[in-house]
Structure 1
C-alpha cells in the first residue's frame, strides 16, 4: 500500500463519496451493509481522517444489536481507529493518528468507514512502531485500563490483582501497572497463552479453573492482601473473593457484570479496612477526552514496554459484517477492519 492517494487527498482533492459500513436498524451483524455516502469537508474545529484500520469491539457488536440507548440509527459504528489526516488544520495534514471515543459510533458516526470526521481535539499521533492495524486495535482496551488504574490511584510498589488478565482490558491493565512499578498478579482460566500481554507484566498467575482465588491471594501476599483489584469478569463469586482479598484501604475497579446478578459481601470488615469499589465506563469519554490518554500511552508502545496487540483477523471493509460476527462469536485476539 502506498500513501500517494492520501497525499493528494491532503492537498485538497477529497472524493465526493466514500464507503462506510452502516446499519439502518438494530439487529444481528447481518444488518450491516457497505454504502456509498456523500463526503463533505470538515467544518471549523474539525478534521477528516482517512481511516486505514479500525478494530471491532464487543461494545460495537452490542451497539448494532440495540443495547446502547444513546444510539439512534442509521449509524456508522466503530470506536477505535488509525489513519492519516486528510483534511483539517495545516499542522495535522498527513499526520498518522490513532484514537478512540465513547461518542464515535454511538452519538456520531464512527470509524468503520473510509473517512472519519472528528474534532481536532480528538487527534493523537500514532506510535511510529505500530502498524495501522495494530494502532487501530489499541484504544478501548488501553483507555479503559488507564482510567481504572488512575481512579484507583495505583502507586509504585503496590500490588494489583487482575481478574481476567488474558482479556483485552485485563492484559492492558497488567502491562500499564507493571510500567508504573506495581507488582502484578494475573488471574485467568487455565494457562495464559504465550503471547498474552500479561506475561510481559508478571510471572505470577492464578488459575481460576483450578485454584481458590482468595486462598491463593492470601498465600502470595503473606496474608496482607492486594492494594488494587481490576475486575474484568464481574462473576459474583470471583468479585466476592476479590473484595475479601483487599488489603487495608484496598480498591476494587469493576468494568463488567451480568444483568440481574448480585454481589454479596459483609460490610463491617469492608468499611473497617476502608476499602472502596470504583466503577469504570469508558463510553462516558468522548474522543476528545480520550486523546490525552492516547498521547500518554504512546511512549509505552514506542519503548516496547507495551506489546503490540495480537491481530487475530483482518477483514476488508466489504466484509465488515463478517468481522462483527467473528467478535460476536468470541474470537480471541483483536479483529480489525481495513479500509485501504
Structure 2
C-alpha cells in the first residue's frame, strides 16, 4: 500500500505518523499525481494544531495527510478534466495532503512543470511563491518604490523579496541577525528583527517605505503599519483578517489559479526567482522536515523527496 505522513487528531507532533493508506481515486475535476517532491510550510503544522483557514468548510477526517503543495507525474485523470494527460509532469496545490506517494490535485490549481524546472523547485511554488506573487501584485507599487517585508528570511518572505525586485522595487527585509547574509543575497537591505524596529527601518529607508508585506503579525505588524502614510498599502499573511483591518490594511488575497503558478515558474526559469531549497528529507523523515519548519529556524525552503 502507498505510504503517507499523517496526523491522527489535532495536537502536537505526537499526533503524527507514517502509515499505509489506500491509493486515492481522482474525483471530478481532479488529478491523481505520483508525488516526486512535497513542499513543507508553516501552514502544515498549523493545520495539525486545529487552525482553520477562512475558507475551510466542514470537519476534517482523520487520519489526515499533511502537506499542501507537490510536484509529480499524472497517474489518473478525473471526470471533466482537460488539458492534462497521464505522464505529464505537473505541480500544484493538493486537495487532501501531499506528504504521500500519491496525492489528489484540483486541476484548476495545477500547472504543467517546465522542463527547465526541477521537481524540487516546482514543489516549493504553489504555497510560498504563489502567496508572495499574489501579495506583491496586490500592493501594486510602482517601480522604484520601497517595500518593507517582515519575516523576509522565510519561504514566503524570500520569494516576495525576489519577486518585488523583479518588479523593480527596492526591498527592505526584516529578519533575524543570523539571516543577514541570506536576506542580502535576495537583493534586499537587511534590518535586524527586535525591539525599536521603527528606528532601524527609518535608518535603512530614509525616504520612508511605500508598502508593507507582513509575514509575522503581532507587534511587528503594528509597528510596521506605523511606518506607512497610506495604510491601504499594508498587507499580511501573518495575522488574522480583523487584526490587519483594524490597522487599515488587508490580508493577502490569494488568486489560487494555474496562471499564477505559470507566472512564478516562469520567474524561476528566467532566473529572477530562486526557491532556495536548503534541505531535503526523504518521506520516512517527514517528521524532521516539519520540525525544522515548526521551530522557526528554517532558511529558505525545505522539501520532502518522495520518489526520484
**Alignment of structure 1 residues 145-184 onto 2, 5 Å:** 145-184=132-171
Q: Answer with 1 or 2: which has the greater Rg.
A: 1
- Tell me: CA distance 1:213–1:116, structure 2 relative to 1, closer, same or farther (3 Å): same
Counterpart-to-counterpart distance in 1, 2:137 and 2:120: 27
**Alignment of structure 1 residues 107-256 onto 2, 5 Å:** 108-190=95-177, 192-196=179-183, 199-202=185-188, 204-209=189-194, 212-222=196-206, 224-236=207-219, 238-248=220-230, 251-256=233-238
SS of equivalent residue, structure 1 residue 192: helix
What residue ranges of structure 1 are gaps of 5+ in the alignment? 1-16, 266-275
Counterpart-to-counterpart distance in 2, 1:194 and 1:39: 44
Counterpart-to-counterpart distance in 2, 1:315 and 1:191: 23
**Alignment of structure 1 residues 311-322 onto 2, 5 Å:** 311-312=278-279, 314-322=280-288
Corresponding residue pairs, total: 297
What residue ranges of structure 2 are gaps of 5+ in the alignment? none
Is 1:24 matched up with 2:8? yes
TM-fit CA distance, 1:304: 0.9
SS of equivalent residue, structure 1 residue 73: coil
- Tell me: CA distance 1:219–1:335, structure 2 relative to 1, closer, same or farther (3 Å): closer
2:69 to 72, 80, 84: 80
TM-fit CA distance, 1:301: 0.1
RMSD, matched Cα? 3.0
- Tell me: CA distance 1:281–1:56, structure 2 relative to 1, closer, same or farther (3 Å): farther
TM-fit CA distance, 1:174: 0.8
Counterpart-to-counterpart distance in 2, 1:301 and 1:213: 32
- Tell me: CA distance 1:130–1:331, structure 2 relative to 1, closer, same or farther (3 Å): farther
TM-fit CA distance, 1:97: 1.3
- Tell me: CA distance 1:262–1:46, structure 2 relative to 1, closer, same or farther (3 Å): closer
- Tell me: CA distance 1:221–1:128, structure 2 relative to 1, closer, same or farther (3 Å): same
TM-fit CA distance, 1:90: 7.4
SS of equivalent residue, structure 1 residue 38: coil
SS of equivalent residue, structure 2 residue 100: coil
TM-fit CA distance, 1:247: 4.0
Q: TM-score if structure 1 supplies the norm length?
A: 0.76
TM-fit CA distance, 1:219: 4.3
